[in-house]
Amino acid sequence: MRAEEMLQTLVAHGYRLTEPRQALLEVIACRPGWFSVRELSEDLGQKKIRVGRATIFRTLNLLVDLGLLERVRGANEVEGYVVTGAGEHHHHLICSRCGRVEELPECPVAERLAELAAERQFQVVSHNLEVYGVCIQCLRQESLEQEK
Amino acid sequence: MRAEEMLQTLVAHGYRLTEPRQALLEVIACRPGWFSVRELSEDLGQKKIRVGRATIFRTLNLLVDLGLLERVRGANEVEGYVVTGAGEHHHHLICSRCGRVEELPECPVAERLAELAAERQFQVVSHNLEVYGVCIQCLRQESLEQEK
DNA sequence: CCTGCTGGTGAGACTAAGTATCAATTGCTA
DNA sequence: TAGCAATTGATACTTAGTCTCACCAGCAGG
Ligand SMILES: [Mn+2]
Ligand SMILES: [Mn+2]
Ligand SMILES: [Zn+2]
Ligand SMILES: [Zn+2]
Over the stretch A59-68, which tens digit does the pLDDT of each residue have? Answer: 999 999 998 9
CATH of the domain at B1: 1.10.10.10
Tell me what the mean pLDDT of segment A64-85 comes to: 83
Give the per-residue pLDDT at A51. Answer: 96
Q: How far is the CA of B17 from the centre of ligand 4 (A)?
A: 34
Number of domains chain B is built from: 2
* Domain with B114 in it: 89-148
Query: Cα separation of B29 and A110, whole Å?
Result: 33
Tell me what the mean pLDDT of segment A128-147 comes to: 88
CATH of the domain at B118: 3.30.1490.190
Residues B74 and B106 in one domain: no
Query: Percent of chain A having pLDDT more than 90?
Result: 56
DSSP chain B: --HHHHHHHHHHTT----HHHHHHHHHHHH--S-B-HHHHHHHHHHTT----HHHHHHHHHHHHHTTSEEEEE-TTS-EEEEE-S--SS--EEEETTT--EEE-SS-SSHHHHHHHHHHTT-EEEEEEEEEEEE-HHHHHHHHHHHH-
The neighbour count for residue A32, using CB atoms within 10 Å, is: 11
Query: Of B49, B69, B87, which residue is a domain's last?
Result: B87
pLDDT at A23 over 90: yes
Give the per-residue pLDDT at B86. Answer: 56
Helix (H) or strand (E) holding A110: helix A110-119
Residues A107 and A72 in one domain: no
Inter-chain touch A117–B73, beta carbons under 8 Å: no
Q: Read off the pLDDT of residues B2-61 as tens digits, 9 standing for 90 and up.
A: 888 999 999 999 999 999 999 999 999 988 788 999 999 999 998 999 999 999 999 999
Inter-chain touch A93–B122, beta carbons under 8 Å: yes
Inter-chain touch B102–A116, beta carbons under 8 Å: no
Interface of B with A (CB under 8 A): 71, 73, 77, 93, 95-96, 102, 104-106, 108-109, 111-113, 116-117, 120-136, 139
Residues B119 and B58 in one domain: no
Residues A80 and A95 in one domain: no
Tell me what the mean pLDDT of segment A116-137 comes to: 91
Strands (DSSP E) contained in A29-134 are 69-73, 79-83, 92-95, 101-103, 123-134
